[in-house]
A and B are shown apart, each in its own frame.
Chain A
């Protein structure tokens, strides 16, 4: 089939009654979804002082370690902070429920913990808001417009794109430039994010393709996910010791650096 001869004529009615409606419906559903998600968002769970203290304890040692090879704190102060943290981590001072008692085996974190469940439910809710309308739209397209050819792309493509652009039409020798209705749906599904960003601003929740990759059960995204802080603290102690070995004070040799800068000492 040569590309110069047009082998297929599309009814303009298809453009007006299929192509535009599908696009319009998808845009509107995305915008609607954005607002529904905003409505569904539950306010973040308030945390107690102890919980925050436990979560942020690791940051203390991370801040200390971050500059340890060029630390602004003089040696005496650095070592006292480092030792203090290390002891506190060993004794479990920062744990929310106080230091662990004796040799009692640590209870495994309960997956049905209400705090964790809340986070999971919020994820599920947004997932549902995404899934349901998309399923309905797909069903609608499949039911009414199955096998429709909607549009012809203005540029040539290789055969590899056939499965992407002509889903739902089983014709082995049709030009790849013709796009089927189902494929048009998928193109919109993945491609409308840029438009949403224009309409709704940067951090909108209208884009559904992004949620496809995120599972509601992925724990790391939720602040309430149970973590064994005791283990983390124990691991952090090694890091602290390691950084203590790397430690140098920036004040070491500062007088020589200043003198050199003013030409009082020969450059090193």
Chain B
């Protein structure tokens, strides 16, 4: 593979935020061996950062050290390199050392969001969930627009069975990225787990509605749609038999619940009906059972 195509592909990874560490690492090494990166111009530095991260991912710390050295020489005292150094430290050092390093960085510049986020992730990893939640809440109070942060908070809450709190965190994520059906799906599933079936049903239906724009109603559902329809079916089949289920959010059970149940059955069958595999039998059995 030629150098320019490798570079091009790596640049594409960067813009699309693709992690693909193994591939990045292989192609990055090729470029790194081919000569000094200073020849690549400004793009070379972004490439070095990318390669450093990828090589930490695949466990080749020697390569990442090399990248870091070049970056640190070029950009002394850059907060971005500082974060990268921190990530490199996380790979080998004890969490205490890393936390201390991040603490020092934050003392210098208390508003460095990237360092702050890394610090929270390390805290979470060491198992101090309470402290992680506290820090993360403080972080989100300052940097409200960080969707990842809200999703992480919801994840921490869900892992401790605090579903109401998780839903609250997710509602912020919904407000920030109302165009992302996956956040809706996560909200729906969290609501389902917390036992708020009417709310979960509505949210599953919203995912369905978001996905079906522009698609013909006859085509079998794909991808996220299948999961959403399965969710609709899960909620609907229980709501049909006990329509007066309690809802923590006071969401009313729709009057057309029977129709929804039928439609969900139809759609799930459409998704699995075409295949002559064992999976389809399980699905029909599941649909036939109560």
Contacts of B251 in A (CB 8 A): 74, 251
Say if the beta carbon of A261 comes within 8 Å of chain B: yes
How many interface residues does chain B have, given as a range? 35 or more
Q: Which of B32-40, B170-178, B280-288 contacts A (4 or more CB under 8 A)?
A: B170-178
Contact check, B260 vs A255: say whether CB atoms are below 8 A apart: yes
Say if the beta carbon of A73 comes within 8 Å of chain B: yes
Contact check, A49 vs B217: say whether CB atoms are below 8 A apart: no
Contact check, B212 vs A251: say whether CB atoms are below 8 A apart: no
Q: Closest A residue to B255 by CB, please name it.
A: A255
Contact check, A265 vs B145: say whether CB atoms are below 8 A apart: no
Contacts of A63 in B (CB 8 A): 144-145, 175-176
Contact check, B254 vs A76: say whether CB atoms are below 8 A apart: no
User: In the complex, A261 Cα to B267 Cα: how many Å?
Assistant: 13
Contacts of A3 in B (CB 8 A): none
Instruction: Quote the shortest CB–CB distance from B117 to chain A (angstroms).
Output: 14
User: In the complex, A73 Cα to B183 Cα: how many Å?
Assistant: 11
Say if the beta carbon of A71 comes within 8 Å of chain B: yes
Contact check, A46 vs B175: say whether CB atoms are below 8 A apart: no
Point out the residue from A64, A74, A254, A259 that lies within 8 Å of B263, measured CB to CB.
A259
Contact check, A77 vs B110: say whether CB atoms are below 8 A apart: no
- Given A259-B259, A259-B260, decide whether A52 and B209 contact each other with a Cβ distance below 8 A: no
Say if the beta carbon of B73 comes within 8 Å of chain A: no
Contact check, A53 vs B175: say whether CB atoms are below 8 A apart: no
Say if the beta carbon of A263 comes within 8 Å of chain B: yes
Q: What is the 8 Å Cβ interface bit string for chain B, positions 210-245, against chain A (1 contact, 0 not)?
A: 001000010000000000000000000000000000
User: In the complex, A257 Cα to B257 Cα: how many Å?
Assistant: 13
Contact check, A256 vs B256: say whether CB atoms are below 8 A apart: yes
Contact check, B175 vs A72: say whether CB atoms are below 8 A apart: yes
Point out the residue from A47, A59, A74, A264 that lies within 8 Å of B259, measured CB to CB.
A264
Point out the residue from B110, B111, B174, B202 that lies within 8 Å of A255, measured CB to CB.
B202
User: In the complex, A67 Cα to B208 Cα: how many Å?
Assistant: 20
Contact check, B142 vs A52: say whether CB atoms are below 8 A apart: yes
Q: What is the 8 Å Cβ interface bit string for chain B, positions 160-174, against chain A (1 contact, 0 not)?
A: 000000011001101
Instruction: Quote the shortest CB–CB distance from B230 to chain A (angstroms).
Output: 15
Q: What is the 8 Å Cβ interface bit string for chain B, positions 243-266, against chain A (1 contact, 0 not)?
A: 000000111001011011011000
Of listed B110, B184, B199, residue having the most chain A CB within 10 A: B110
Q: What is the 8 Å Cβ interface bit string for chain A, positions 34-67, against chain B (1 contact, 0 not)?
A: 0000000000001111011100100110011001
Pairs A–B under 8 Å by Cβ, sample size 12: A53-B141, A59-B144, A63-B144, A63-B145, A67-B175, A71-B175, A72-B174, A77-B167, A81-B171, A251-B206, A254-B205, A259-B260
Residues of A within 8 A of B (CB): 46-49, 51-53, 56, 59-60, 63-64, 67, 71-78, 80-81, 250-251, 254-259, 261-265
Q: Which 3 A-B pairs have the closest CB atoms?
A: A77-B171, A251-B202, A72-B174
Q: A74-B199, A77-B167 are in contact. List 12 more A-B contacts (CB 8 A).
A: A49-B110, A59-B145, A63-B145, A72-B184, A75-B249, A250-B206, A251-B202, A255-B256, A262-B217, A262-B263, A264-B259, A265-B259
